[in-house]
Amino acid sequence: MSEVHTEIEVAVPEPLPAGPPPAPKRRHAAHINTLQSLAITVVIAVFIVTFIVQAFQIPSESMERTLLIGDYLLVDKAHYGRSDFWHWLLPYRPVQHQDIIVFRYPVNPQQHFVKRVIGVPGDRIRLINKHVYVNGEPQADSYAVFNWAQHDRFRDNFPNSGSLGDRVTSNWFERARKLTEDGQLIVPQGYYFVLGDNRDDSYDSRYWGLVPEENIVGRPLIIYWSMPRNRVAVDDATQSDRLSTLAYGLVQSVKGLRWDRMFRVPN
């Protein structure tokens, strides 16, 4: 009896070729990486704007010559903050005399003001002929500007002027009277007395009151941009050509920049 041999062919799968994944998978992975990078960037930006720095523009003359209209500031929001969690990382310190601060205007917290700290809690403040005395001692105010020759009893001899300024809020007038002793304003705990460096033309603590500690946003860190008001004037002929107008505006913007003020630290 003869043997019958049956050969069975078994298909062996060929090995998959080595190399990168198909193009659709690579594109999908690239999109995920892009989204992750964007999300991280947004989170970092939100953290910085919320906790560390914020941009502000100077809108008035009240801090001239220290800060001018058209100065753009980065404000250090961490400088005066207090937190048990962040104190090891961020350099907190209390507000001190002569500090320049950005704060929410107490009468309308939607507005931001920038002024110089003259009085801290416990200080006794008075002005005599425009010059500041703190706890009976005259203060060095070489940074201050006095542009008006006309004397104003209220503005220049606060709070012992015997007169009422025309821009004083009624609530502050009554409170200031209660805080005044021996012709000096006593700064209560949790509040600060501030003045503008442009002493004759500044709407400050003399007129609307004290700055609560919780209203303080931070201190100016650096002037990152500065340009004078109304620096670009385009004539009628230039206006007829939009491209020329744009080019002219860009050139004038660069020419009009106050380069000497950029990257200056206000003090």
| Active-site entry in 77, 115, 202, 205 | 115
Any idea of the CA torsion for 198, 203, 204, 208, to the nearest 10 degrees? 170
- pLDDT over 70 (residue 25): no
pLDDT at 240 over 50: no
SS3 233: coil
pTM for this prediction: 0.74
Q: Quick check: is 240 catalytic?
A: no
Q: Is it the case that residue 244 has pLDDT exceeding 90?
A: no
pLDDT recorded at residue 12: 55
Q: Is the pLDDT of residue 180 over 50?
A: yes
pLDDT in tens, 208-221: 999 999 999 999 99
Mean of pLDDT over the chain:
80
Better-predicted residue by pLDDT, 34 or 66 = 66
CB 238 within 8 A of CB 199: no
State residue 116's pLDDT score.
98
> Does 226 have pLDDT greater than 50?
yes
> Residue 170 has what pLDDT?
84
Q: Can you give the pLDDT at residue 208?
A: 96
Residue 238 has pLDDT above 50, yes or no: no
Burial label, 257 (beta-carbon count in 10 A; 0-12, 13-18, 19+): middle
Q: Which residue has the higher pLDDT, 204 or 164?
A: 204
- Listed ranges 25-34, 36-45, 176-185; the one with the highest mean pLDDT: 176-185
State yes or no: pLDDT of 174 exceeds 80.
Answer: yes
Report the pLDDT value the prediction gives residue 245, as an integer from 0 to 100: 52
Distances (CA, A) of 212 to 118, 121, 194, 217, 258: 14, 10, 11, 11, 34
Given its phi and psi angles, is residue 19 left (phi above 0), alpha (psi -120 to 50 degrees) or beta? Answer: left
Does domain 49-225 correspond to CATH entry 2.10.109.10?
Answer: yes
- Dihedral through CA 85, CA 91, CA 94, CA 100, nearest 10? -130
State which of 9-13, 82-86, 116-120, 152-156 shows the largest mean pLDDT.
116-120
Q: Which residues contact residue 42 at a Cβ distance below 8 angstroms, ignoring those fewer than 6 apart? A: none
Q: Is the peptide bond before 177 cis (omega within 30 degrees of 0)?
A: no
Q: Where are the domains of the chain?
A: 49-225
Q: Which of 2, 37, 60, 62 is catalytic?
A: 62
Active site residue 115: yes
pLDDT band at 22 (very low <50, low <70, confident <90, very high): low
Residue 11: strand pairing partners = none
